[in-house]
């Protein structure tokens, strides 16, 4: 049977792409080492853990979906996922491998669990996936090592699904994975956040106290986060900071007693960058 062997919460941002693509010297600079150094720790942990699949929860940034038809939740069931062109040309990465059989199993399980989702047999992935993924995939230039199941959520077009819905969907995802008959180790990745605002007079504001409180609460008392409204999360962490509900999705897929063994926080320029990694390999799934 498949197992949930870990979870990762990670910011996603075009800035992370630009610094990664600038090369190792820039990534190791004093300005960016506080972010990229911990990502290297996660990559080394994954190389030891050797998971078989990643489920990546993110929000699409008007690349696959647009405001005229934006799904509340959408799941990829393809065998590969091209990298989207976000306006400056697609980054020079090959399509990400998928796992259609696992994707369809998760889709059927979630619908049977009363979570009705959009099913995508074709899907381009944007920086919600592709900004953190090169830093944790351990392929070392040999192409992508880990097939992914992309899971798109709506944190853009109101009405938004409740934070509690994200947490419960994470729990349903766990049930789906555990019911898959093939022996696979799965890591669930929730991306987005932490605090940032890209519009209005509060542009560029970082809410460091809230970011640190969120990381603690997610680890120790995630159900408390379910009681927040979107309006509260936006006031606490900025309009785009509401993306943190995707970390709550990831946390719902983990055992309640899981705790992060790698954690980093870096408030820099116009956002609070965050990273957590949970090892659940000893929990029996």
| DSSP notation for 180-226 | -SS--EEEEEEE--SS---SSTTTT---HHHHHHHHHHHHH-HHHHT
CA distance 184 to 177: 9
- 127 classed as catalytic: yes
CA distance 169 to 110: 8
Q: And the tokens for 227?
A: 């009681």
DSSP 8-state symbol, 161: P
Instruction: Give CA separation, 123 vs 99, 120, 263, in Å.
Output: 13, 6, 31
The H or E element containing residue 57 is strand 53-58
Cα–Cα nearest to 241, from 187, 202, 201, 188? 202
- 196 classed as catalytic: yes
Q: Which of 61, 105, 145, 196 is labelled catalytic?
A: 196
Q: Which of 18, 61, 105, 127 is labelled catalytic?
A: 127
Helix segments in the chain, DSSP class H: 14-22, 24-27, 33-49, 100-112, 127-130, 133-136, 163-178, 208-220, 222-225, 230-237, 245-252
DSSP 8-state symbol, 122: S
Cα–Cα nearest to 21, from 36, 11, 9? 36
Q: Give the catalytic positions in this structure.
A: 127, 196
């Amino acid at each position: 049977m498949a197992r949930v062997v870990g979870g990762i919460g990670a910011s996603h941002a075009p800035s992370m792409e630009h610094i990664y693509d600038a090369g190792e010297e820039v990534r190791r600079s004093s300005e960016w080492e506080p972010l990229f150094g911990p990502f290297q720790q996660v990559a080394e942990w994954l190389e030891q853990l050797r998971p078989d699949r990643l489920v990546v929860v993110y929000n699409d940034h008007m690349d696959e979906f647009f405001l005229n038809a934006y799904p509340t939740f959408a799941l990829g069931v393809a065998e590969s996922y091209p990298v989207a062109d976000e306006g400056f040309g697609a980054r020079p990465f090959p399509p990400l491998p998928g796992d259609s059989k696992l994707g369809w199993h998760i889709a059927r399980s979630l619908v049977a669990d009363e979570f009705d989702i959009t099913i995508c047999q074709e899907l381009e992935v944007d920086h919600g996936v592709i900004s953190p993924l090169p830093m944790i995939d351990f392929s070392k230039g040999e192409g992508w090592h880990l097939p992914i199941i992309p899971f798109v959520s709506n944190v853009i077009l109101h009405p938004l699904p409740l934070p509690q819905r994200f947490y419960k969907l994470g729990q349903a995802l766990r049930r789906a994975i555990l019911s898959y008959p093939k022996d696979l180790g799965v890591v669930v990745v929730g991306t987005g956040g932490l605090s940032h605002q890209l519009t209005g007079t509060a542009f560029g504001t970082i809410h460091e106290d809230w970011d640190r409180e969120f990381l603690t609460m997610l680890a120790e008392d995630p159900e408390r986060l379910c009681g927040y409204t979107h309006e509260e999360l936006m006031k606490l962490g900025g309009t785009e900071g509401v993306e943190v509900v995707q970390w709550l999705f990831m946390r719902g897929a983990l055992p309640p007693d899981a705790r992060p063994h790698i954690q980093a926080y870096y408030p820099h320029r116009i956002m609070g960058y965050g990273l957590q990694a949970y090892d659940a390999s000893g929990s029996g799934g």
